[in-house]
């Protein structure tokens, strides 16, 4: 079984929380499924859940270099040099990190409102970039954009491998056909 889930903002990527915060269990009531990877509490977007340990490992193991695409609303206007720096690599406290691709995009069509909305500043423009990673470290996208002078305001994971959010709204999920591995 493979579940595509649009994780809302301020929901934990686990099924229980002793502090009472919203979790995956508030949206998905299926026994035996586990998250194939994580998404920060402050981030939104696609998560995959499965009951297949081999599939979970295939998706999450760094050696498989599964591509993950993020839509990132940043403070400021990205320059060509800042985007190039993301793909060349930046130095983070836990080592170098580089995007497989980074480009400026228009605000995504049909994007839902976030609750609460991002903070707007009258004198500071914001814009959107698309970043593709083949690894995933804790808060990596946010740390990378900050390293090039583009603080992240909103972060949405759009795709993992060939799976995308499609028309899923926050809190919605659907089951899709899981791939079979030899």
pLDDT at 56 over 60: yes
pLDDT at 18 over 90: yes
How far CA 89 is from CA of 62, 84, 140, 158, in Å, comes to 17, 8, 12, 22
> Mean pLDDT, to the nearest integer, of 57-79?
92
- Whether the upstream peptide bond of residue 62 has omega within 30° of 0, thus cis, is no
In the residue annotation, 40 being an active-site residue is answered as: yes
pLDDT at 2 over 90: yes
Give 76-91 pLDDT, tens digit per residue.
999 999 999 999 999 9
pLDDT at residue 137, rounded to an integer: 86
Which member of 40, 51, 94, 167 is catalytic?
40
């Amino acid at each position: 079984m493979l579940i595509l889930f649009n994780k809302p903002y301020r929901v934990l990527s686990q099924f229980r929380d002793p502090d009472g915060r919203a979790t995956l269990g508030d949206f998905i009531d299926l026994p035996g499924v586990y998250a194939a990877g994580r998404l920060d509490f402050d981030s939104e977007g696609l998560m995959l859940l499965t009951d297949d340990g081999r599939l979970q490992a295939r998706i999450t193991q760094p050696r498989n270099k599964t591509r993950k695409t993020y839509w990132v609303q940043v403070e400021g206007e990205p320059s060509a040099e800042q985007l190039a720096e993301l793909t060349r690599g930046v130095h983070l406290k836990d080592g170098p990190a580089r995007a497989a691709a980074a480009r400026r995009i228009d605000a995504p069509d049909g994007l839902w409102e976030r609750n609460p909305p991002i903070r707007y500043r009258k004198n500071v423009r914001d814009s959107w970039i698309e970043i593709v990673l083949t690894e995933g470290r804790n808060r990596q996208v946010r740390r990378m954009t900050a390293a090039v002078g583009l603080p992240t305001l909103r972060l949405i994971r759009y795709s993992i491998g060939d799976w995308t959010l499609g028309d899923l709204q926050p809190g919605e999920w659907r089951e899709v056909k899981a791939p079979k591995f030899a």
